[in-house]
Structure 1
Amino acid sequence: MFDRLVRLIRIYGNGGLIHAKFQIQGDSLIRVTIPNKNLMQYNPGSYVFLYVMTPLGFWQSHPFSPFISRQSGEEGSLTLLSKRQGGITKNLFNQLTASNGQAQHKVLVEGFYGHTPPLRVFHTIVILSSGSGITAVYSVADSLRNLASRGTHVVFRWIVQNESALDWANAELESLVGVVDLNIYITQGINERESATEKNATSSLPVLPITYSHDRPNVTAWVDGLVDEAKGSVAFMS
């Protein structure tokens, strides 16, 4: 009973019923944008439970790791990314497909839970992610930008299969260029006759630091190299 009361308080504290924008991103992702004006204090690295007020899903809640949008026209909004699977996410994706890829739905936001990882005491901070897992770590990388400008070495590596994945958070990633040690590894979408070097030279996305590879990067070698090069203490987050 007490647990349910706490949940209701958190939902009410976030403004109760909120209108959110749902959009298809890439081949299988749903991007949810929620106005941030009535939400409780957000901490990078925290998570929320989202209730979508549709006939087929209002009784279900799903956990999400949100981040603050830097997309034009959505600056400051809370953003969630959900991969299409079964149940409510499949139904939502099908509805969006039938609505030209976007729609408005009423939602309830329960949270925030969790805390920001205590990374600021380290000399080198390494953040590794792949695919849609970027949602769990981008907000932390973004929160470290001031620390990076004062000399802390912040390393952010993201592994994805193809360029279309960059549509998920293009503006957010661009905001980190020149601030943290960022590199994006794309492991598919290279013609068999085209070398990774040639693909890097002809990339249509010159703003972002992208490395094309026929294979997944050797993460173990990454870690060993970063530890060897680091000056002082090192923290890893993935």
Structure 2
Amino acid sequence: MSGVFQKGPGSLARCGLRSCSARRRWVLLMEVLVIAGLCNFLTGCSEKPQISQTPISWTTEVNRERPIVTASLSDASQTNKPSESAAKASQTLTSKARAERRHKLRKGGGYHKIGKRYQVAGIWYTPKHDADYEETGIASWYGDKFHAQKTANGEIYDLNALTAAHRTLPLPSLVRVTYLANGRSVVVRVNDRGPFKKGRIIDVSARVARELGFADKGTAKVHVKYLGPAPLDGSDEQEQASLMTIRAP
């Protein structure tokens, strides 16, 4: 105790220096804490608030399969006056489509896909693999203006190919389409989504409609039977072989 209260100029000076140094350190510490707190406050104000986002459905551009608009969805559907619309179709083709139409389009080039559940015009569809799929219903066919556009699995629609669109079958798939009015049957490659008009079960290419014999009618009652997955390389051996039964004398 005597050491603490020891009198003398030297002792007072030493005590004053220590006290001053402690106060200075305390002030500096408080300044650092205040500045740090202010920086955190300003940083928090500048950050954007976290907004809870609902899952994006397949119907949005971000997470959606990109099927081309089929003839059954377009205003130029072949249903009413197929022969007139077919005659006018060449006038609506872009110069690029006309040029591509003169050349043989590549086959395949897409990918195997079943896809997520999706909605069109308020109706939900669930793509799935169904090995026993068979259905009887109305078929329609693609118009010329969809020639050379991409299909839902990344292939190119060719109006001269034996292809089709279906709402739920895996892509690409092979199905047998039989026109019930005349018994003609063709194996086709399903590589797109559609049709989405009520009562229709499949959209076929213009070539398929001609081969089956209903191109001039626009729609036809058909039977569709799933055969299995189609090769990714675009091989159409099975499709072409099925034509031989139609053309046989």
Provide TM-score, normalisation by structure 1.
0.23
Higher strand share: 1
Structure number with greater Rg is 2
